[in-house]
Structure 1
């Protein structure tokens, strides 16, 4: 069985910070853990150091509650949300508290 991992570089926040994310070829979701995440892994399964995004240090990011209406729409609706919001980029950061 042939097993491959694909990664890409993304820039998040303002001021922009660079992150490498693994591409899930079965979905349109990319994941970056937030600095406020307690218990999130600090290294990947391949022992690659993971960087954390600090939403509070970005002028363009904000945390939303898991109870927010946007969360109830589910991951499958992200394309529709992006379209409805007329955004080219759509990120939301969940605050588990």
Structure 2
């Protein structure tokens, strides 16, 4: 095997391990929730410890927002920073 293939195998196993850890955390959380309806940490908080969310830079945030708006059918006006605001329809 080449080093790239070995790296791909390790990366795939790492992804598999994280997915399984999340699955077991969800199962344990659900079991505790049904067993005793007392105070539990939110499931999101438990899952964020396993795989913390990655911070987004401004460009990624902009792309995510624009793609969401276009999927929802909203009209998106593209303009550069400092340009005049387009006229309202």
Q: Identify, as 1 or 2, the structure richer in helix.
A: 2
Q: Same fold (TM over 0.5)?
A: no
Q: Identify, as 1 or 2, the structure richer in strand.
A: 1
TM-score normalised over the length of structure 1: 0.21
